[in-house]
Amino acid sequence: MAAKLAALLVLIVTYSSIFGVSMGNKDWFWNWGSNFNYTDWWNCHHLNKTTQPQSNTFVVGDSQNWHFGFNYTDWAIKNGPFYLNDTLVFKYDAPNVTTFAHSVYMFSDLRSFSKCDLKRAKMVANSTQGGGEGFRFVIKNWKPHYFACGEKNGFHCNNGLMKFAVFPMIRPFSPWP
């Protein structure tokens, strides 16, 4: 009797480890023979995984867009973490007689980012590219990204809080494709 029970348990454990990790196996165990809904079980395991977005799109600053004086470090903390393949959208109008120009630069290292040293930064979007639907930046590389506005020789970065860092993460592996 005990041996039979042990054998059954081994069978169940083996079966469970082959078929799924979390949601299904407990239900399968307790509902075996009862009115267990296999459609629900299948959906739970398969549809959710495939309908989950593989990447997200973020408008930097949300409705505030990309402007002087908004705390983008704070925004990045509250909206992160960011993953590879996520898209950051920078929205800012082209300058006119009453409004200031903005742009998007990326620093090569933390040190130049901290000091807003634009000599060690590359422009990724000029002052007109943030118009309309905005400038889209896809996070493709697994490395820290240091963004800032490059206008007024670092003044927008230093004094206007127009800077933030992104440390992209890799999306956890999904066992059900």
Ligand X SMILES: *[C@@H]1O[C@H](CO)[C@@H](O)[C@H](O)[C@H]1NC(C)=O
Q: From the CB of 96, what's the least distance to ligand X, in Å?
A: 4
> If contact means CB under 5 to 8 A according to the sort of partner, which of ligand X, Cu ion, none does residue 149 touch?
Cu ion
Size of the site for Cu ion (CB under 5 A): 5
β-bridge pairing 145-148 and 121-125? unpaired
> Quick one: 40 or 109, whose CB is closer to ligand X?
40
Please say whether the beta carbons of 116 and 158 come within 8 A: yes
Please say whether the beta carbons of 86 and 146 come within 8 A: no
What DSSP string runs through 21-60? SSHHHHHHHHHTTTT--HHHHHHHHHHHHHHS-SS-EEET
| Proportion of the chain in helix, strand, coil states, percent, rounded to 5 | 40, 15, 45
Structure tokens at 34: 């009862």
> Quick one: 114 or 174, whose CB is closer to Cu ion?
114
Q: Which of 91, 102, 145, 163 binds Cu ion (CB under 5 A)?
A: 102
Residues near 150 by Cβ (< 8 Å), separated by ≥ 6? Answer: 103, 104, 105, 118, 121, 123, 156, 157
The reply to whether 91 sits near Cu ion by the rule CB under 5 A is: no
> If contact means CB under 5 to 8 A according to the sort of partner, which of Cu ion, ligand X, none does residue 62 touch?
none
| 3-state secondary structure at position 124 | strand
Q: Which residues bind ligand X (CB under 6 A)?
A: 37, 39-40, 43-44, 47-48, 54, 71, 73-74, 77, 84-85, 93, 96-99, 126-129, 161, 171
Q: From the CB of 70, what's the least distance to Cu ion, in Å?
A: 10
> Quick one: 91 or 168, whose CB is closer to Cu ion?
91
Q: Which of 104, 118, 125, 149 binds Cu ion (CB under 5 A)?
A: 149
Q: From the CB of 94, what's the least distance to ligand X, in Å?
A: 7
- Could you list the residues that contact Cu ion (CB under 5 A)? 102, 149, 151, 156, 162
